[in-house]
Amino acid sequence: MIITIANQKGGVGKTTTAINLAAAFALKGLATLLVDLDPQANATMSFVDNHELAASMYDVMVGQTPLEEILVPTHLEKLQLAPAKISLAKLEAALVGELDAHFRLKDRLSPVADRFEAVIVDTPPTLGLLTVNAMVAATHLLIPIQSSYFALEGTDDLLETVDKIKARANPDLQILGAVITLYDKRTVLARDIHEQIAKVFGDKLFRTVISRSVRLEESPAYRASIFEHAPESSGATEYYALCEEVMARV
Ligand code: ADP
Ligand code: MG
């Protein structure tokens, strides 16, 4: 399974979800690959110092570097990382006029995909070429939705893009589900928002809700997932529960 984490809004918990879901899969014993397709490289920097890396996803997407040559290990035995650098921001310009521009990730992943039981792809906060590549390559899409007043703003555009990709490039793409992030159960507003999101996504909304938590926010600074940084925290419990829900659905 190849799970793309996408939402064109920034700061909704995509990267936090990608990191911790990938870590949860690895801790469950699945050979897992985390692909960082965001030029901001936050997922990469949560595990390694990307300044020390020679090659990254840009080289894979634009040139002849095989994906397996850029893979780096993480502190988790079962988790490997395909790192990004800021150079990925140049990809769109580099691929102008290339007929296969939207299929690059799918093509580059296919020789290695068999080696992994779970592949998680983190994406930038746009519906541009990188996110489209991630959707074309994916078997499943997971949408983090921030618990906020404007939570559902932009959802139509996102779902329209998914429909286009299903129609033209990847008929097998399934919406795995939406997960509410940055939830604060103390507020009435948050409960209202939860209801609204549930109305839109129905049974696609995961039962697990990811609460707002300082531990989740700080774990990247320790180059750790929540499971090493704060294994007893709500964030660890919730991301583990999300992983189990995901596994039950695929
Ligand atoms: P995105 O990848 O969608 O831009 P991030 O995962 O980077 O979003 O999250 C945006 C910011 O919010 C980051 O600083 C991150 O550490 C923080 N954050 C994400 N999820 C939580 C959470 N559940 N509780 C507290 N902070 C969070
Ligand atoms: Mg991000």
Atom of ligand 1 nearest to the CA of 220: 16
237 CA → ligand 2 middle, Å: 21
The domain spans of the chain are: 2-249
127, with CB counted inside 10 A (0-12, 13-18, 19+), is: buried
Tokens 């995909």 belong to residue = 113
Length of the chain: 250
Q: Is 124 helix (H, G, I), strand (E, B) or coil?
A: coil
**What does the pLDDT look like over 195-246, one tens digit per residue?**
999 999 999 999 999 999 999 999 999 999 999 999 999 999 999 999 999 9
- CA–CA separation, 99 and 16 (whole Å): 33
Question: pTM value?
Answer: 0.97
The verdict on ipTM greater than 0.90 is yes
Domain 2-249 has CATH 3.30.470.20: no
Q: Which ligand has the nearest atom to the CA of 183? A: 1
Cβ of residue 208 lying under 6 Å from some atom of ligand 1:
no
Span between the terminal Cα atoms of the chain, in Å: 8
* Average pLDDT value over all residues in the chain: 96
Written in H, E and C, the secondary structure of 157-223 is HHHHHHHHHHHHCCCCCEEEEEEEECECCCCHHHHHHHHHHHHHHHHHECCCCCECCHHHHHHHHHC
* Ligand 1 touching residue 125 (CB < 6 A): yes
